[in-house]
Amino acid sequence: TRDLFQQLCPLVLELAPVLARPDFVLQHFERFIEAYGPRAALYEMLLINPKLLELLFKLFDHSQFFGEILISQPVLLESIAFEDLLVGTQNRTEMTGRLVREIAETQEGRLLLFKNSELLRIALRDILGLADSAEETQAELSLLADVCLNSVFSLQPSAFSPPLCVIALGKYGGRDLTYGADLDVLFIGGTVEEAARIIAQLGGKRGGTGTFKIDARLRPDGEDGPLTLPLEAYAHYYRERAQFWERQALTRARVAAGDAKTGASFLKLVDELIYSRPLSAAELREMTAMRERIEKERGDTDDPVRDFKTGSGGLVDVEFLAQAQQLRHGCRHEPLRRASTLEILRAMPSIAGWKSEKSATLIKDYNWLRKLEGVLRRDQNAAISQLPSRREQWKMAARWMGLKDSAALESELMARRKQIRKMVDGLL
């Protein structure tokens, strides 16, 4: 074992200095060795497959959360690395098939273990540059949420019956789900008990770490309203009492799980509510005012540079622009009604006459911000919308983004945000 470790040392000393936090990585590598079991077998495997050592080091460097998953379940290293699971994306059939096989082997806790295994696979493809883009990673995270949510229905078919349907909203609805994000949903039909059971089974029990956390606060009357309502009650609420922002939230509505017929009826209602006519000038002013309010209320007024999401020229600027175009043109162009932010931006040159180079620049800057959001959220698998308050803590994010230091990150961030705000103001 000592001889094998001595052979491994040069590889360790070659890889460690180029990492963003080498000491942190070596500490996690030591913990992984302890958890793995027979050390000689591990060292031999890493010597035969030096790319595996690089995989381990990059994972520990880029994400404490996913590193902890691997340390707690070391067997995942071999299953992911040697079953060609990193080669390409998984489609719904492949992912569902793996879940069914896992559940069949051991019922207790398998949904959470499957979710963590898939999250680790997706994160590794992202970290190693095997995913084509952040968009591909977000699509796989959204698919994983879909598969886990549908498994709650399929594993207990007698516990849920029509017309219960789950509608995805927000980033989840747009298949833009990021690390650590909650699932924004509406429950249509069924009973409050059934909806509560889905939240409990998908989100875990007794406050522990669950599979995915469900957020149903976008329902009529928010947290004061019942978890689920009949379709007719939704129709009455949106027609008579809903504010404009509540209808705006429906731009990302899609059927995620449950009764397909109920889901189709709800989407037909959505089309009637928000796509029966173009966005009016008064509604556009309301959207703009809401965007300004978000920037003012959620941002850091003392250090606005940190606010890559809600600040001037941040992610929300681009997403509001895309939704405005969706509401403006969706009545005449049906594919826009179920489109993501990037799909809308790509369609604008042909639909709204945008200059292709302007659209391409906006997409490039938006993708850069999404990548920054992704590397920050990936570390803890948590919802993060701002850079750390201390500039010295930006160094890791800079390295993860391929930049030299904190100053380079700040310069790049502000240049892109300034460009985004200028384009958004012009296009709105």
pLDDT in tens, 403-427: 999 999 999 999 999 999 999 999 8
d(CA 304, CA 295): 10
d(CA 32, CA 69): 10
Instruction: Choose the weakest-confidence range: 89-98, 173-182, 211-220, 271-280.
Output: 89-98
| Amino acid 380: pLDDT | 92
Q: Which two tokens stand for residue 329?
A: 């043109």
Instruction: Tell me whether strands 214-215 and 183-188 are parallel, antiparallel or unpaired.
Output: parallel
pLDDT band at 330 (very low <50, low <70, confident <90, very high): very high
CA-derived radius of gyration, the chain: 23
d(CA 354, CA 193): 48
Helix (H, G, I), strand (E, B) or coil at 183: strand
d(CA 207, CA 200): 9
Measure Cα distances from 205 to 145, 198, 376 in Å.
18, 11, 28
- H helix or E strand, kind and range, residue 390: none
Q: What is the average pLDDT across 375-393?
A: 92
Q: What backbone phi and psi angles, to 5 degrees, belong to 258?
A: 90, -155
| Amino acid 101: pLDDT | 67
Q: Which two tokens stand for residue 348?
A: 């604008």
Q: What is the average pLDDT across 141-157?
A: 90
| Amino acid 163: pLDDT | 93
Instruction: Choose the weakest-confidence range: 103-107, 173-177, 303-307, 343-347.
Output: 103-107
CB atoms within 10 A of CB 399: 20
Nearest residue to 29 via CA among 55, 48, 2, 3 = 55
d(CA 297, CA 290): 10
Measure Cα distances from 154 to 175, 228, 349, 363 in Å.
22, 20, 42, 38
| Burial (0-12, 13-18, 19+ Cβ within 10 Å), 263 | buried
pLDDT of residue 51 exceeding 80, the answer is yes
Q: What angle do CA 313, 318, 321 make, to 5 degrees?
A: 120
Q: Which two tokens stand for residue 341?
A: 């932010």
- Contact at 8 Å (CB) between 166 and 256? yes
Question: What is the rounded (10 degree) CA torsion for 156, 157, 161, 165?
Answer: 70
Contact partners, residue 275, CB within 8 Å, separation at least 6: 327, 330, 331, 337
- Contact at 8 Å (CB) between 40 and 1? yes
| Amino acid 206: pLDDT | 41
d(CA 330, CA 323): 10
Measure Cα distances from 182 to 11, 170, 203, 210, 213 in Å.
39, 10, 10, 11, 5
Encode pLDDT of 162-187 as tens digits.
899 999 999 999 999 999 999 999 99
d(CA 98, CA 102): 6
d(CA 401, CA 403): 6
Q: What is the average pLDDT across 37-60?
A: 92
pLDDT band at 208 (very low <50, low <70, confident <90, very high): very low
d(CA 367, CA 132): 12
Helix (H, G, I), strand (E, B) or coil at 228: strand
Strands, E assignment, 29-174: 165-168
